[in-house]
Structure 1
Amino acid sequence: MDFLVPGQLWSLPGPIWIFGTCVFPEPMQVRLVNGSSRCSGRIEVHHNQRWGTVCDDGWDLADAEVVCRQLGCGTAVSAPGKAMFGQGHDPVWLDEVNCMGTEGAITECNLKRWGDHNCKHDEDASVVCSGKWTHREPTELRLVNGPNRCAGRVEVLHHEQWGTVCDNDWGMEHAKVVCRQLECGPPIYAPGWARFGRGYDPIWMEKVNCSGMESALSECTVQSWGQHSCHHGEDASVVCTDPMAVQLVNGPNRCAGRVEVLEQHQWGTVCDDNWDMRDANTVCWQLGCGVAIAAPGLAHFGRGNGPIWLSEVNCTGTEDSLSKCKARPKGVTGCHHGEDASVVCSDPTEVRLVNGSSHCSGRVEVLHNQRWGSVCDDGWDLNDAEVVCRQLGCGTAIWAASAARFGQGYEPIWLDDVNCTGSEAALSECRARPWGVSNCNHKEDAGVVCIGNLFLNKTPTKRCML
């Protein structure tokens, strides 16, 4: 079943109610072969009772990240093509796979029809993951259906099957352990009630008891695996801070300046080798600063000091965090501070869309008093959405979503009764109640879908794989 939004078809990450029907994506069998372990090799998928390969057209680290997560193999290290691990045999099942990198399984990605390709086996795609799979502790862990790998529904791997965690007694101490195990930043939220969508398959854990000091969730006490009194409406989630903080310094405002990233508790710069507008766009999006209008190098905003953390950054421009872009290993550069990269973003007025398929769709959030908050859907219409799309450089609005269609946000709710004419350049120019004054709850969070989604680097056509 396809979920129709004007001009698009969207794949659905996990079961969700659509027009009265509960849609459950079908898990796909995936394996890596010819590698040094179960966590590296040529990717093969199982369909119609036959294993087949994946073409490397458009294959990148975001696609590999999903495979590594699905196999419980940590994070993606590389996504080689050109049959790096040898040529497979017929059939070639998938071509032009398009994942965001946060999906829980490759079936949740943008996929062409099975067997529809123009490839040969010398184009077989491969994956190298960071971890070696093992039956020993710590239990494999992942966060799915969130805006990045550090936020989403908690899932654990047991008996080679992913399942969820019940939210009974779930809290910030548990979230600390999850964020630590995933090498994300500190937690900011530990929601229950399936905040990132209902899971499927087993519910593995209930009444988990963590002190917050454990290095892995498996070190916490729990009643017997698989024994519970819960349903998937009680699935636990976690929101961690991004492991790679970004700031712009020495510019006229926080949305323009020299790019600095935080690594090993120390701020350092980014080399301008191959630095371009796509890289700059990712920085602007991560900071909630609209779109990039310049990507100067050669220490345009002054030379930094300390380490140069990143070099040869290669973003597609659609990532929501610089940490998700390809780059040389951290700290490995041949640069000096006269080559420090910079960014100038379009608008310091803070607006972003989250939980959508790209930065051009999702729940509307605005930054006020250095805190992100949501917008109530009272009076929310296409004129208001049009202003958001224009401010983000995302083209024309095609949908003004209401009723938390892109998930419920977190406190605060900053704006209510927004009333734009549709011609304003920024949401801050529209009439609205005073900041923070509302009679809403997060079930009324407003969302937006912009036509800008149609012009991203990869095709947006998506199908529910049922």
Structure 2
Amino acid sequence: MRTTLLLVYCCVSLFYFPRVYTASVISEVRLTGGNGPWEGTVEVYVDGSWGSICDRDFDLSDARVICRMLGYKREIQIWTGAAWGQGTGKSLFTSLSCSGNERSIGSCGYYTSNCYHSQDVGISCVRTNRPETTEGIRLIGGTGPYEGTIEININGVWGTICDKQFDINDAMVICRMAGYTRAIQAFSYAYFGHGNGTSMLTNLHCSGSEDHLDSCGSDGWYASSCNHDHDAGVACLSNDRKNITQGVKLVGGNGPYEGTVELNVNGQWGTICGKTDFDINDADVICRMAGYHRALQFYTFAHFGKGNGSIVLSNPQCSGKEDIIDDCGSNGWYYSGTCTHYYDAGVVCQRNFTGKFTTEDASGVAPPYDT
């Protein structure tokens, strides 16, 4: 029994009390295999030879210290799995534990590595001779280039925006940068799917009038602790459209004057959530858009059957005087909350057809609303 305990103590001691490399012993650090000296596989010079660092438990605080050792402002991104190629020599450290304030990784905690070079970690640093500005923007994962998860290019590296405090004012600036006139809706929780790279920006504070993100307040570039489950997204008004809704039709009824309401938003058909607040005033506006004088009745709970597409509008709040539902308040375009097609709104319009409501599109042509 005593022999067993001694063996266990010996093994635990070997694992938890590795050789310590001090800051003076770690004389150099370099990044190899990248597009420049600011990025690549991390290698450190110890006892006369170069070695690598294992990606196990490696985080942004560790990367920040290495970038500082190299003379760069700070880290942009971590690369695992020898993304920039395998390093040379031995894998020296694993579970590096820096606070981010150290001047050298020799002042950080770590264990002696038993990793393979296939686990070599790499990093990208912010280049000191370049300002931290947004050099590009794109929207991915949507049904067209006007919507999707937001990706921004900072100093040549693509990343995402955290949805924390992200709202329609921020979305307005994003859409303007992407070449569109305005935003329809801001999205959270990776609505259009996960983006690429790292989360670069959080707590964005735009008034909505700015032409560029760099003019908005935030917690700072690279300060985000979000993961990609919180990637922000936007839907912008397509440039070939003047209004958000380009069509309305009533489906499932006994004629074109009644049925489940379907709206065409940015070229995609979808329904209205009638779970709460949908009333005769909202129905009046829908009927007017469809070319009828007024509404006789409104329905919720998919009275005429479930509609098609996604839920494109939730709980409109019309006074009944509006000519188009774009002018009504609502919980937001595309926003459905806990809604499903079970709550699709429907209307019955007065049959005296007055002619379809028309609105000028961006080209000046007046297209009819669909029925």
Fold equivalence (TM over 0.5) = no
TM-score interval, normalised by the smaller of the two chains:
0.3 to 0.5
Please report the TM-score for the alignment, with normalisation by the length of structure 1. Answer: 0.29
- Structure possessing the higher radius of gyration over alpha carbons: 2
Highest RCO, 1 vs 2 (Cα 8 Å, sep ≥ 6): 1
Please report the TM-score for the alignment, with normalisation by the length of structure 2. Answer: 0.36
